[in-house]
Structure 1
Amino acid sequence: MTTPNDTKVTALIMAGKRSGVLDPLAARADVAQKCVVPVGGMPMIERVVANVAACDRIGEIRVVAHEPEEIAAIPSIAKLVEEGRLVFRPGAFNLVDSVFSGADGATYPIMITTADNCLWLPDDFAEFVDKAQASEAGAAAALARKEDVRSADPEGQKKFYEFSDGEFSNCNTYWIGSAKALSAAEIMRGGGQFVKFPKRIAQAFGVINLVRFVLGWGTKEKLFAQVSRRFGFKMVPLEMDNGYCAIDVDNERTFTVTERVLARRSGAAA
């Protein structure tokens, strides 16, 4: 099965590193960057690339990285490069400019995900693409409901966005439908992590939307509609079926959680 309009999606996998800072997980694993830290016996970037590549909605894969050599040395990734399926794009000083670098010359629509989204499966990427296509949105963000995240693992996430229709967690996967909608990436210029730093919402979305967010006024769809008017194109939240989509490898706690979920998944398959 392909996407509803038979258009293959370009995947951007963000695999950069903070300038001058060695991630604690990378230091413990004795590697140069977090994205090659083994999780469940496999470098996390290799796992994400494999699951993206196995999704039939995805065409070209672009890995945005500051140090691509270490990633390119992974045999399965080298094979995709040789086949012409995967290319590397240079990471920039910050996340937003890295997205712009990755998207330069790409075919739209674009799906953006991160190299530490180790729990996403090909069917999850297909679900996200199908829902984004069906929404006809210029830009979209994947969210998971709190109950589903906690069902995947009670320690999966500590904080959630609160709306009148429930509490949700960001899944670090985004949809950019056109070159015009790429401006939505500016939302992340302050660094994202709006639950930890809600003042960043005022910078990205405006003060009124900050008040709505903090007080939990309205549904997630209503807040995204307000943001859509600010940016001039349709932006929508896409609720994922599986709560594990909101669990990425961010620190020791989530590393342990991810390995635990992968182990349960392997046990179920066996």
Structure 2
Amino acid sequence: MNTALGSVAVKVTALILAGKRSGVLDPLAANAGVAQKCVVPVGGKPLIEHVVTALAACDRVAEIRIVSHEPDEIEAIALVKQLKDEGRLVFRPGAFNLVDSVFSGAEGAEFPIMITTADNVLVTPEGYAEFIDKALAAKAGAAAALARKEDVQAADPDGQKRFYEFRDGGFSNCNTYWIGSPEALSAAEIFRNGGQFVKFPRRIAKAFGIMNLIRFRLGWGAIDPLFAKLSRRFGFKLSAIIMSKGEYAIDVDNQRTYDVTEKMLAARAATAAAASAAAGA
């Protein structure tokens, strides 16, 4: 595949999951005086605006779909309105569990589909392109983006506290997923009732089988052979996509990760300003 700018052979549909828990106001949203977490400002912009900006700038992404329960606050963002008016962005109704929201977002979409979340503020256009290119190269039916523990901790030691431990190292979920075909959409069932497997190991047993749960919890085996076993269970190729930057695994989940993200965005802005000044000197 030719991945030079403007000549990408395969483009994806991007789903942004921007829902909210039924009847629950997120603490970050409450502190910011907004109705939902995805529009909480960080680094001078709503969380979801950072994500939409990155996806819109990624030449591997065609249509952007926002899956939301309350679109009005999101539609008020100028970039979102612009992309919607241009026909590149659409809204899909959210459900009150993750997998049904994915199904809603995917209805009528062109495959392959990349799923991300509205709080994935630190993923850049280059990060999304990296994930897409690696998923295509792997010929994955479904895939999940992971970052190595040492890379996450190097990005910021407070960025993540929980890791999946395997024989070949620790990994953190980047909340970015790949659905290569309508048939592979069944992989979304893995995340019914939530995908935080580190906190809720019964979900691994239900999705993957008890022996894989034991391997997962005890760190038996390396990550690629485990995904190969899972592929045989599901009947199509499941791939672990290892990302090059640990910061992609840091999302805005609570006040701690909000503060980390704010700090990292400020550092990025300072680096960009310094580079611009040097170029103009």
Q: Tell me what 2:276 maps to.
A: none
Residues 1:108 and 2:108 aligned together = no
Q: Letter of the aligned partner of 2:99 in structure 1?
A: V
User: 1:131, 1:192 → 2: CA distance?
Assistant: 22
Q: Tell me what 1:255 maps to.
A: 258
1:8 to partner: Cα distance: 1.2
User: Match for 2:28 among 22, 25, 29?
Assistant: 25
User: 2:150, 2:18 → 1: CA distance?
Assistant: 29
Q: Tell me what 2:153 maps to.
A: 150
Q: Letter of the aligned partner of 1:35 in structure 2?
A: C
Determine if contact 1:29/1:37 at 8 Å carries over to the other structure.
Answer: yes
**Once the two structures are superposed, what CA deviation does each residue of 1:96-136 show, in whole Å capped at 9, x if it has no partner?**
00000000000000000000000000000000000000000
3-state SS of 2:15 partner: strand
Residues 1:130 and 2:133 aligned together = yes
3-state SS of 1:167 partner: strand
User: 1:73, 1:161 → 2: CA distance?
Assistant: 38
Determine if contact 2:8/2:59 at 8 Å carries over to the other structure.
Answer: no
Residues 1:219 and 2:240 aligned together = no
Alignment identity in percent? Answer: 70
Determine if contact 1:164/1:217 at 8 Å carries over to the other structure.
Answer: yes
1:3 to partner: Cα distance: 9.5
Determine if contact 1:144/1:168 at 8 Å carries over to the other structure.
Answer: yes
Q: Tell me what 2:177 maps to.
A: 174
Q: How many residues align?
A: 270
Q: Tell me what 2:277 maps to.
A: none
3-state SS of 2:192 partner: helix
User: 2:7, 2:77 → 1: CA distance?
Assistant: 33
User: 1:203, 1:258 → 2: CA distance?
Assistant: 33
Q: Letter of the aligned partner of 2:75 in structure 1?
A: A
Q: Letter of the aligned partner of 1:61 in structure 2?
A: I
**Once the two structures are superposed, what CA deviation does each residue of 1:11-52 show, in whole Å capped at 9, x if it has no partner?**
000000001100000000000100000011100111100101
1:204 to partner: Cα distance: 1.0
Q: Letter of the aligned partner of 2:178 in structure 1?
A: W
Q: Letter of the aligned partner of 2:116 in structure 1?
A: T
For structure 1, which runs of at least 5 residues remain unmatched after alignment? none
1:4 to partner: Cα distance: 8.9
Residues 1:75 and 2:81 aligned together = no
Determine if contact 1:224/1:236 at 8 Å carries over to the other structure.
Answer: yes
Moved more, 83-92 or 188-197: 188-197
1:226 to partner: Cα distance: 1.1
Residues 1:141 and 2:162 aligned together = no
User: 1:47, 1:9 → 2: CA distance?
Assistant: 19
Determine if contact 1:171/1:247 at 8 Å carries over to the other structure.
Answer: yes
Q: Tell me what 1:204 maps to.
A: 207
TM-score by length of 2: 0.94
1:190 to partner: Cα distance: 3.0
Q: Tell me what 1:11 maps to.
A: 14
Q: Tell me what 1:245 maps to.
A: 248
After TM superposition, what 4+ stretches of structure 1 lie above 4 angstroms from structure 2?
2-5
3-state SS of 1:111 partner: strand
3-state SS of 1:190 partner: coil
User: 1:71, 1:61 → 2: CA distance?
Assistant: 14
User: 1:139, 1:50 → 2: CA distance?
Assistant: 25
Determine if contact 2:97/2:193 at 8 Å carries over to the other structure.
Answer: no
User: 2:230, 2:51 → 1: CA distance?
Assistant: 30
Coordinate RMSD, CA, aligned? 1.1
Determine if contact 1:113/1:172 at 8 Å carries over to the other structure.
Answer: yes
